[in-house]
Amino acid sequence: MRAARALLGIDQRKLAELSGVSLPTIQRMEASDGTVRGVVDTLTKVVEALNRAGVELIGDNAASASGGRGVRFREPRQRS
Protein backbone atom coordinates (compact mmCIF):
# COMPACT_ATOMS: atom_id res chain seq x y z
CA MET A 1 0.00 0.00 0.00
CA ARG A 2 2.83 2.38 0.83
CA ALA A 3 4.46 1.71 -2.54
CA ALA A 4 1.17 2.31 -4.34
CA ARG A 5 0.68 5.58 -2.45
CA ALA A 6 4.24 6.61 -3.28
CA LEU A 7 3.65 6.01 -7.00
CA LEU A 8 0.57 8.21 -6.81
CA GLY A 9 2.16 10.84 -4.56
CA ILE A 10 -0.65 10.65 -2.00
CA ASP A 11 -0.66 10.33 1.77
CA GLN A 12 -2.65 7.98 4.00
CA ARG A 13 -5.37 10.58 4.51
CA LYS A 14 -5.93 10.92 0.75
CA LEU A 15 -6.09 7.13 0.31
CA ALA A 16 -8.66 7.00 3.11
CA GLU A 17 -10.75 9.62 1.30
CA LEU A 18 -10.44 7.90 -2.09
CA SER A 19 -11.41 4.52 -0.68
CA GLY A 20 -14.06 5.54 1.85
CA VAL A 21 -12.09 3.81 4.60
CA SER A 22 -11.11 5.52 7.86
CA LEU A 23 -7.60 6.90 8.30
CA PRO A 24 -6.94 4.68 11.38
CA THR A 25 -7.88 1.63 9.27
CA ILE A 26 -5.43 2.63 6.53
CA GLN A 27 -2.74 3.17 9.19
CA ARG A 28 -3.45 -0.23 10.77
CA MET A 29 -3.37 -1.97 7.40
CA GLU A 30 -0.05 -0.38 6.49
CA ALA A 31 1.43 -1.29 9.87
CA SER A 32 0.85 -5.01 9.16
CA ASP A 33 3.96 -7.13 8.69
CA GLY A 34 3.87 -8.99 5.39
CA THR A 35 0.34 -9.69 4.19
CA VAL A 36 -2.09 -6.83 4.77
CA ARG A 37 -4.91 -8.03 6.99
CA GLY A 38 -8.38 -6.63 7.15
CA VAL A 39 -12.05 -7.17 6.40
CA VAL A 40 -12.48 -8.29 2.79
CA ASP A 41 -14.88 -5.42 2.02
CA THR A 42 -12.35 -2.91 3.36
CA LEU A 43 -9.47 -4.44 1.38
CA THR A 44 -11.64 -4.39 -1.75
CA LYS A 45 -12.41 -0.69 -1.28
CA VAL A 46 -8.72 0.16 -0.99
CA VAL A 47 -7.71 -1.96 -4.00
CA GLU A 48 -10.51 -0.47 -6.11
CA ALA A 49 -9.48 3.06 -5.12
CA LEU A 50 -5.88 2.34 -6.13
CA ASN A 51 -7.07 0.85 -9.43
CA ARG A 52 -9.21 3.92 -10.16
CA ALA A 53 -6.19 6.11 -9.43
CA GLY A 54 -4.18 4.14 -12.01
CA VAL A 55 -2.11 1.71 -9.94
CA GLU A 56 -2.12 -2.06 -10.44
CA LEU A 57 -1.35 -4.40 -7.55
CA ILE A 58 0.62 -7.44 -8.71
CA GLY A 59 -0.11 -10.78 -7.03
CA ASP A 60 2.35 -13.65 -6.55
CA ASN A 61 1.38 -15.50 -9.72
CA ALA A 62 0.22 -12.59 -11.84
CA ALA A 63 1.98 -11.75 -15.08
CA SER A 64 4.75 -9.27 -14.41
CA ALA A 65 7.72 -8.31 -16.54
CA SER A 66 10.08 -8.86 -13.61
CA GLY A 67 8.08 -11.52 -11.72
CA GLY A 68 7.06 -11.45 -8.09
CA ARG A 69 4.69 -9.23 -6.18
CA GLY A 70 4.59 -5.46 -6.26
CA VAL A 71 2.80 -2.48 -7.72
CA ARG A 72 2.95 -0.78 -11.08
CA PHE A 73 0.99 1.76 -13.10
CA ARG A 74 -1.74 0.00 -15.10
CA GLU A 75 -0.84 2.13 -18.12
CA PRO A 76 2.39 4.02 -18.84
CA ARG A 77 2.26 7.52 -17.37
CA GLN A 78 2.95 10.53 -19.54
CA ARG A 79 6.08 12.34 -18.41
CA SER A 80 5.81 16.11 -18.27
CATH code assigned at 40:
1.10.260.40
Residue 80 domain-assigned? no
Question: Quick check: 48 pLDDT over 80?
Answer: yes
| Number of domains the chain contains | 1
In a domain, 56, yes or no: yes
pLDDT at 59 over 90: no
Q: Which residues, 6 or more positions from 72, have their beta carbon under 8 angstroms from its beta carbon? A: 7, 55, 56, 58, 64
Give CA 71 to chain center in angstroms: 7
Q: Determine, yes or no, domain membership for 30.
A: yes
Q: Residue 16: inside a domain, yes or no?
A: yes
Residue 35 Rama label (left phi>0; alpha psi -120 to 50; beta):
beta
Q: What is the pLDDT of residue 25?
A: 94
State the residue range of the domain holding 40.
2-73
